[in-house]
Amino acid sequence: MDVIETTTTRSGPVPSIRAEEKKRITPKRPRDYVAWAVAIAIVAGLVWTAVTNEKYRWPVVFSYFTTQTILNGLLVTLLLTAASMGLGTLMGLVLAVMRMSHQRPVSGLAQLYITFFRGTPVLVQLVFWFNIAALYPNLSIGIPFTDISTPVNVNAIMTPMTAAIVGLTLNQAAYMSEIIRGGFASVSRGQHEAAESLGMSGFTKLRHVIIPQTMPAIIPATGNQVIGMLKETSLVSVLGVADLLQSAQAIYARTYQTIPLLIVASLWYLIMTLVLSVPQSMIERRFSRSTRTRLTPAATSAEPGAGQLVPPTRESLL
Amino acid sequence: MNPDGTIVARKLCKSFGRHQVLRDIDLTVAAGEISCIIGPSGSGKSTLLRCINGLETVDRGVLKVNGEDFGYVEKDDAYHAVRPKRLAEQRARIGMVFQQFNLFPNMTAESNVMSGPVLVQKKDRVACRERAQELLASVGLSGCGHKYPAQLSGGQQQRVAIARALAMEPTIMLFDEPTSALDPERVGEVLAVMRDLAGNGMTMLLVTHEMAFAREVADEVLFMDEGIAVERGDAREVLANPREKRTQAFLERVL
Ligand SMILES: Nc1ncnc2c1ncn2[C@@H]1O[C@H](COP(=O)(O)OP(=O)(O)O)[C@@H](O)[C@H]1O
Ligand SMILES: [Mg+2]
């Protein structure tokens, strides 16, 4: 720095530092300022209307924000999300295994399931399950080829809550199975071959070699599904399940405070998705850094530690 | 005579759909012998190697490894596929080294080397760890045991892969172009390990394009073209004075 100063004072316009040492500057372009101006204008406009438009009734929003009905609805929404995610993942795993089977009838059946449940709207599926008694009024649950069986009145067990869980679970299973299958597809053939050539059994190979490598693909995608499911549960309000949205609707049906209560529900959904997105983005960052699975010659012949990070799923069992 | 470390193939055939990849291949590797398979790409070299450790199934012909029918038992008029457990046992005695290394990226180098003995042979973990460290040292990688494959160079990864195969105490080592995916300056370190192994009397069957290495260590050379074993014989002899036209043409191109 002082080199610059001494040279400038001494020799005026003569170049003060050597060309090799000069900083390189990219001038800001007009569009950079325009983008900022537009963004600020939009946000300011939104805030302005939210504050000045009386009909938002913010005091009403705050007064209902933590009422018992809303909190109960919140709990139902969370339970629905957890139940259908958990069951859907288990069932998705079964479907994925079926889908990957070399036996055509088995994989075909799974394919059929996935096509059907991904090809029809969840809302329709939910209403369908709620009305399933119209198709099968009585079911008989029992052990085949024995006399042990109990008749079940479908109408009685298919409560709105059951229909909601069944509908969301069956739908989620179709999506989860594709995610799980994708995870397995991301592991190269060579990994299977290496494990098999060591004499590993199918189970050992899956447990110690393949499944740990599927996780970087499966876990972040599953996180996205959880967030999606949280919002999707709002569809069950059409069945009359007292979830967050339905609770808000129940209140405004009495008080006619439609907008403020929809704001209450939206804020809660927003809070929950934001809370969930924190671990989600941590997981994503952790897994997206991996340089693994398919090892290209270029990547593998790189110098040791040349910008390559430690793979995230560590096998600590050995 | 102890048949360990021997490979015998007679009239081995293999097709993928309508495309016949191996046509009546005959091959004998004696215990402790080093055999090289050479030939243009697509000639079926990898497929032959993969048949010998069960990564591909053989359509027809005889295949005996370590003196036993491999993957099948002969009964009456047919060969019957063995149960997966039996196949795994047979495979465990054959070491395989792949062109793309195929190290398990979720395990450290040491865990990769231990994976066979611990998970397959159910050996004691502590003893296996010690043995893994010895093996890593023998391939010049002492001190790299805690590193993950992604932190190792290609040459280092391939040496770990060799150590991993050796940890199973195989009677035979198969190498499928072990240096083809490496940077040129990394080839030497892998060949050095293989040279050591050859010196210690391991039966080796290797597909390679390193003709100088083949001439140096191999006892026998098999030249394959379009699924046919075109020429087979003493390594120096075949490489220096090939009898067949196709072998001559191939060697002219690669040398
Ligand atoms: N799994 C497979 N399915 C179909 N064709 C294959 C398969 N593996 C190899 N082939 C074919 O078999 C032939 C021989 O392949 P390969 O044994 O890999 O040759 P090389 O190792 O000598 O280059 C090639 O034409 C290749 O396309
Ligand atoms: Mg090949």
Which residue, judged by its Cα, is nearest atom 13 of ligand 1? Answer: B42
Q: Which amino acid is at B166?
A: L
Backbone angles phi and psi of A290, in degrees to 5:
-65, 140
Tell me which DSSP letter residue A100 carries: T
User: Which residues does a 6 A CB cutoff place in the pocket of ligand 1?
Assistant: B 16, 21, 39, 41-47
pLDDT of residue B230: 96
* B30-54+94-252 to CATH, choices 3.40.50.1260, 3.40.309.10, 3.90.1150.10, 3.40.50.300: 3.40.50.300
Q: Write out pLDDT tens, residues A11-34.
A: 556 668 888 888 998 888 888 899
The residue of chain B with its CA nearest to that of A196 is B88
- H/E segment holding residue B188: helix B184-199
The shortest CB-CB distance from A191 to any of B102, B116, B168 is to: B102
Tell me which DSSP letter residue B225 carries: E
- To the nearest whole angstrom, how far is the Cα of B215 from the nearest Cα of chain A? 26
Which residue, judged by its Cα, is nearest atom 12 of ligand 1? Answer: B21
Residue window 191-250, chain B: list those with CB within 8 Å of chain A.
none
Burial of B184 (0-12, 13-18, 19+ CB in 10 A): exposed
Closest to A73 in 3D by CA, of A279, A266, A274, A256? A266
Does the pTM exceed 0.95? no
| Cβ-proximal residues to A243 (8 Å cutoff; 6+ apart), any chain | A73, A76, A77, A80, A233, A234, A236, A237
Q: Write out pLDDT tens, residues B19-55.
A: 999 999 999 999 999 999 999 999 999 999 999 999 9
Residue window 162-181, chain B: list those with CB within 8 Å of chain A.
164-165, 168, 181
pLDDT of residue A310: 43
State whether A190 and B102 contact (CB < 8 Å).
yes
What chain A holds in terms of domains, given with CATH numbers, is 61-296 (1.10.3720.10)
> What is the rounded CA–CA span in Å between residue B62 and residue A30?
77
State whether B106 and A311 contact (CB < 8 Å).
yes
Which residues of chain A, if any, have pLDDT below 50?
Answer: 1-8, 290-318
Instruction: Give the SS3 label for residue A16.
Output: coil
Q: Hey, is the C-beta of B98 within 8 angstroms of any chain A C-beta?
A: yes
Instruction: Give the SS3 label for residue A212.
Output: helix
| Cα(B226) to centroid(ligand 2), Å | 12
- To the nearest whole angstrom, how far is the Cα of A310 from the nearest Cα of chain B? 6
| Cα(A204) to centroid(ligand 2), Å | 27
Q: Write out pLDDT tens, residues B204-228.
A: 999 999 999 999 999 999 999 999 9
Closest to A317 in 3D by CA, of B148, B137, B114? B114
> What is the rounded CA–CA span in Å between residue A249 and residue B126?
64
State whether B181 and A300 contact (CB < 8 Å).
yes
Per-domain boundaries in chain B: 30-54+94-252
| Cα(B37) to centroid(ligand 1), Å | 15
Residues in chain A within 8 Å Cβ distance of B105? 213, 292-293, 295, 311
Backbone angles phi and psi of A142, in degrees to 5:
-165, 180
- To the nearest whole angstrom, how far is the Cα of A279 from the nearest Cα of chain B? 22
Listed as own residue / partner, the contacts of A253-258 with beta carbons closer than 8 Å and 24 or more positions apart are A257/A57, A257/A60, A257/A64
State whether B152 and A291 contact (CB < 8 Å).
no
pLDDT of residue A282: 87
The shortest CB-CB distance from B151 to any of A202, A297, A304 is to: A304
Q: Hey, is the C-beta of B70 within 8 angstroms of any chain A C-beta?
A: no
pLDDT of residue A10: 53
The shortest CB-CB distance from A304 to any of B108, B156, B164 is to: B156
Residues in chain A within 8 Å Cβ distance of B96? 193-194, 197
Count Cα atoms within 13 angstroms, Cβ side, for B153: 15
Which residues of chain B, if any, have pLDDT below 50?
Answer: none
Count of beta carbons in the 10 Å neighbourhood of residue B17: 6
Which residue, judged by its Cα, is nearest atom 16 of ligand 1? Answer: B44
CA-B40 nearest atom, ligand 1: 22
* Joined tokens for residue A185: 């597809």
Q: What is the ipTM for the molecules in this complex?
A: 0.94
Residues in chain B within 8 Å Cβ distance of A301? 153-155, 181-183, 186
Ligand with the closest atom to the CA of B38: 1
| Cα(B245) to centroid(ligand 2), Å | 22
The residue of chain A with its CA nearest to that of B164 is A198
Q: Which amino acid is at A50?
A: A
The best mutation among B16, B57, B206 to test binding of ligand 1, ranked by most ligand atoms within 8 Å of the C-beta, falls on B16
State whether A304 and B115 contact (CB < 8 Å).
no
Ligand with the closest atom to the CA of B48: 1
The residue of chain B with its CA nearest to that of A290 is B150
The best mutation among B12, B13, B15, B21 to test binding of ligand 1, ranked by most ligand atoms within 8 Å of the C-beta, falls on B21
Q: Hey, is the C-beta of B54 within 8 angstroms of any chain A C-beta?
A: yes
Give chain B's radius of gyration (CA, Å): 18
